[in-house]
Amino acid sequence: MDSFVEQLKRGTEEEFTEESAWDGSVVNTTSSSLPTVYLPLLPRYLWHPTTRGRKATEFQETKKACLNYIQDALLQHQWQRAAEFMTNYLETLESTSAEKRMAAPEVIWRIGTEILCHHPKSSIEEFNYFAERMKNLGVKRYLKVCLEHVFHLLCNGLIDDAYQNLSLAEGWRYGEQTVAQDKELKLIQAYKGLLDYYNWAKKRKAMLELDGNFADSVEQEMHSFFRQAAVNLKEIIKIPGVWDPFVKCYVDLLEFYEDYDEVRQVLSEYAYNSKFPPNPNAHVYYYQFLKRQGESKKTLKSVLKILHEIVPSHELMLEYNAMLQKSKKRKNHRLGLEIIFTLLDFAGWKEHVKAWSCLAKQIKQILENSSKHLDWVTEEWNSRKDWWPAFHFSHYLAKRNWQENESLACEKALVAGILLGKGNFKSSSLLPGIEILASSSFNGRGRV
Amino acid sequence: MEEEDTRDYSEPCVQCSVVNWGLTDEGRFYCKSCHNVIERTKEVLTSDVVPNTKIQSISRGFRKRKKIDKGWEWYVCEGFQYILKKQAEALQTLGVCPQMKDEILCNFWRRYLQKSKQAYCTTPASYTSKALSMSDISTDVDSEPERISIHGLSSFSESDGDLQTESSFGHVSSIGNASARETTSICSGSVDGGSYLLKRKKGNLRMSMPMTLSFCYIALLWLREPVTLSDLLRFVIDGHIPYLNAFQYFPEEMKLYGVDLKIFRVESWPVYEDVHNKMSELAAFLDLPCFPAITDSCFLHPNILCIKYLMEANLPDELHNWTCRVVKKINVGETDFLTLDPVNKSARKVKYDVLAAAIIIVVLKLLFLLDDQYEWLNANFAGKRNQKNKEGCLWFDFKKWYKIMKKSVDVEQKKLDEERARCLWKCEKPLFYSAKEKSVVLKKRQMVVNLQRQFGALSGSMQVAEKQSPSSFQLNWAEENTDGNCFHGHILEGVLQEKGNSLTTMNTKYWLCTVKLCNEKICGHLTHYKESDFPQSYQFVLNLFSFLLRVPASLIHEEVCLIEHKLFKTKLHRK
């Protein structure tokens, strides 16, 4: 307030100049805050627009203000205050305006859940009560509310309640609404499948611990859970999308019952069907399954090749590289080199000792084998020689590596020595010299 | 009762061609003028009206119960009568003399009924429930138009499955095949609800919820009670006078639904200007004589009201001399000017509270100029002087006053805004347009109540503090307070100077709010208020009084302009 006074004292000329711009005659200003439109050719009385349209009733205006208060309170985490205004805002459910009345349940549902999630005095019973009310508020939202309710229960560890709710929701039918809410229904079925799997797993564990008479009934239950889970999970995996947890559970189920063909089919669909969004995990799952099944190296390598194209920095690339090195074919070795170089292009692998040691070994092998394939190394190095030195072999990194991880430093030093060494890579006879050179470039502390 | 049953039958009697039917003890119709008994019996009329079918036979035996209990038959004006009664009682508890309810208001109301030919006259307006065209009803009402479905049985596709829009505006089966014989009814609890909203005949004044307040105010004015219109409206908004959901005071048997909702449901608070205009219309309509005179000693006289507002606005008492001077100069203190005379149509109807506030503002402008410079310089001067002389009378320091007032008004305004947002508009008695809606509305109501209970428990101990007893003063400034917040005793030393025998202002300048007044008939108002055209101090003072009176600032501004024009009439006309 003082600054305002100061401002005025200094003499604000601006407002006076604006006033003098008016000619002293009739100022037909409207009392609304709309700006005037100065169009000199237009008659004067058309300069001032007026608002048209239905005036909002005070009921609607006060409810809007109420909503603002609620939002402020939520942002400031004042849950009690929010709850207080919520009691008043609930009246919008009975608003005379049909559109407001139809928009109200969604707002109330969202705000209500927010308050009940965070309010210190609220409990899970309160939440359940509220969720039940919300389900009754409108059919269009029924399944969505159910789903969110189930999520909340799951987050709070109430798996059985969640399961009950899911079962109820799964059986819900309401004429054409069922079709309109198809997506939610599918999700509900999927999660039910997931929980069925969870129950199945519990039963399985119980069965292993039990023995004798009880094992039979438990086994029956286990099988029924399996059937239910299998149906739902199979359905959901058919829909294009990312269903990783569901796929894993489904595969686990099928493997227990040794239905490997189904697994193979499901996983290859999941990984290779172009309708599905690209998902590296799909390939990983497929690869892991094939490995478990003891498939030939050839198939494994082909799966990993596709993975390499999608995610060159995947951790399975090391394994892939190892597989390629073991093979006899020359092109596999070439591919392996390419893979390991690409791997080290990524920042996540910078400090990975194994990767560096692989690279070092491979380069050493190439140099030792009569440098026949030196051009491979040159080729790979060419695209990298402008930025690898700064990326991997900087002075600062070198010092840090020595301090933190000596083995890493050693491997890197070896590679650095070879790649950065003066002149082109000559015959292997230069190799020992290069090693000494490399070690000396690190203050002579390295040993190879 | 017999009239209800025979009203709908309008066939002339075979023998004497007069439509005047009564019911015998057995329930048969007979002509009252020639005592001719006909075959028709009561039962025919009370069977349900099935849309689009003719009544083929007299059905005895099992009668399908109507979903809405008919209850009593009641007229709209009866409803308003109940409301007025409740309002008068509330005013009585607030301290108004009991004469108001039993004599004044009652008589005014009877006079109104007489003038509008609803009662107390020889030929009451007939309420034949003709088929009405929808457009008539919807155009005349200024609330939101609903989507009207003629075949109001199908729900719209976008609506929720279990809720209809206000589509079933009565079981309007009669549209299209209206015939005078077929008994149809616009769905409404009252008998004349449907016809009530039709375009009124010229010269007839239709009753509405804001009108009830006009009635109250006219009665208060007649008695010259110390309640201004702004006070009255403030009491209404604070809930001391029934207005919102006043229909819940109707007796149980008076069922309210359908078109009645448009009449009795309140979605907005009453607006000062609206009520005031209606009041003058009402006074003219009732052919009232000149009201009791408002003299110097009357509460509504500007001199007295100025004292009240000066106290509330925490301004020095010395300003009162100046307000009296201004009042005298522009002759607004004359009895003729102040008293309401319905006969004299051209006389401007006085808004007492707005007038008093405007006078104070003009006085402030005279003394302090309020041009964002003079008053601050003066305030500095006064402040320095107050620093030096701590004992003795303090000079009025505009800057200090501004700081204190701004802070407290901001706090109060914030409280007021929150109160407005917290206001509960719906009551226990549910409102619905038709039988179909009833179950839905009740269900919703139940759900809202449940949820409110749940969240109310979570609100903790912030339970509604019982409404404080209403008071005339909203802001209180006590002299005894040692924090020096009260300015009543301060003196206007710094702005006045001696000139001969009297005091005059040191400030010799004055700026007019507007040079020329608009034509009221064209613009609706005499002036228009655009904030950015005026200095901040003026805006502040205007907003202060706008808050105290709960009226828009433009209304007070208009009054200020009027006063200035009267005050500087000679100077203006010389131009």
Q: Where are the alpha helices (DSSP H) in B201-267?
A: 209-223, 229-238, 260-264
Assign B460 a pLDDT band (cuts: 50, 70, 90).
low
Range picked from A198-207, A208-217, B400-409 for highest mean pLDDT: B400-409
Closest Cα to residue B516, out of B464, B568, B469?
B568
- When CB atoms are compared, the residue of B162, B421, B447 closest to A69 is B421
Instruction: Round to whole Å and give the CA distance between A439 and A443.
Output: 7
Instruction: Round to whole Å and give the CA distance between A81 and B418.
Output: 11
pLDDT (average), residues A212-228: 83
pLDDT at B562 over 80: yes
| Surface of A (139-178) touching B: CB under 8 A | 139-140, 174, 177
Q: Which two tokens stand for residue A432?
A: 């020992």
Share of chain A above pLDDT 90, in %: 32
Residues of chain B with C-beta less than 8 angstroms from the C-beta of A102: 158-160, 163
Q: Are strands B502-505 and B37-41 parallel, antiparallel or unpaired?
A: unpaired
| B143–A138 C-beta distance less than 8 A | no
First-to-final CA distance of chain A: 75
Long-range CB contacts for residues B564-571, cutoff 8 Å, separation at least 24? B564/B362, B564/B512, B564/B513, B565/B517, B566/B330, B566/B331, B566/B332, B567/B326, B567/B329, B567/B330, B567/B362, B568/B510, B568/B512
User: Residue A134: how many CB atoms within 10 A of its CB?
Assistant: 25
Whether residue B562 contacts residue B349, with contact meaning beta carbons closer than 8 Å, is answered with no
- pLDDT: which is higher, B71 or A424: B71
Q: Are strands B37-41 and B496-499 parallel, antiparallel or unpaired?
A: unpaired
Instruction: Round to whole Å and give the CA distance between B471 and B231.
Output: 9
Residues of chain A with C-beta less than 8 angstroms from the C-beta of B462: 80-81, 84
Name the maximum alpha-carbon separation found in chain B: 104
pLDDT number for residue A346: 92
Instruction: Round to whole Å and give the CA distance between B308 and B430.
Output: 42
| B426–A91 C-beta distance less than 8 A | yes
Domains of chain B, by residue range, sit at: 1-59, 76-285, 302-413+474-574
Specify the DSSP element, H or E, that contains A94.
Answer: none
Q: Which two tokens stand for residue B307?
A: 């004292």
User: Residue B334: how many CB atoms within 10 A of its CB?
Assistant: 13
A80: closest CA of chain B, how far (Å): 5
pLDDT at A341 over 70: yes
* A102 in contact with chain B, both atoms CB, cutoff 8 A: yes
Write the pLDDT tens digit of every residue in B357-380: 999 999 999 999 898 999 999 899
Q: Are strands B37-41 and B28-31 parallel, antiparallel or unpaired?
A: antiparallel
Write the pLDDT tens digit of every residue in A366-379: 888 766 788 888 88
Prediction ipTM score: 0.74
pLDDT (average), residues A105-113: 92
pLDDT number for residue A82: 92
pLDDT number for residue B6: 66
pLDDT number for residue B386: 87
- When CB atoms are compared, the residue of A33, A86, A93 closest to B455 is A86
pLDDT at B154 over 60: no
Specify the DSSP element, H or E, that contains B74.
Answer: none
Instruction: Round to whole Å and give the CA distance between A174 and A146.
Output: 15
Closest Cα to residue A196, out of A171, A172, A168, A232?
A232
Length reported for chain A: 448
pLDDT number for residue A64: 92
Instruction: Round to whole Å and give the CA distance between B47 and B26.
Output: 17
- When CB atoms are compared, the residue of A29, A60, A80 closest to B459 is A80
Instruction: Round to whole Å and give the CA distance between B20 and B12.
Output: 8
pLDDT number for residue A448: 37
Query: For A148-239, where are the E strands, in sequence order?
Result: none
Length reported for chain B: 575
| Residue B190 three-state SS | strand
pLDDT number for residue A245: 92
Whether residue A154 contacts residue A197, with contact meaning beta carbons closer than 8 Å, is answered with no
Instruction: Round to whole Å and give the CA distance between B205 and B560.
Output: 32
Instruction: Round to whole Å and give the CA distance between A274 and A255.
Output: 25
Tell me the sheet residues that pair with B498.
B503
Write the pLDDT tens digit of every residue in B206-242: 888 999 999 999 999 999 999 999 999 999 998 899 9
Assign B537 a pLDDT band (cuts: 50, 70, 90).
very high
Write the pLDDT tens digit of every residue in B70-90: 677 788 888 899 999 999 999
pLDDT (average), residues A221-250: 90
- pLDDT: which is higher, A241 or B20: A241
Closest Cα to residue A193, out of A153, A232, A147?
A232
pLDDT at B16 over 80: no
Q: Work out the mean pLDDT of chain B and round it to a whole number.
A: 77
pLDDT number for residue B505: 83
Whether residue B436 contacts residue B168, with contact meaning beta carbons closer than 8 Å, is answered with yes
CA dihedral sign of residues B479, B484, B486, B487: positive
User: Computed over its alpha carbons, how large is the radius of gyration of chain B?
Assistant: 30
Write the pLDDT tens digit of every residue in B474-515: 887 876 666 777 888 888 877 887 777 778 888 888 888 888
Whether pTM > 0.95 for this model: the answer is: no
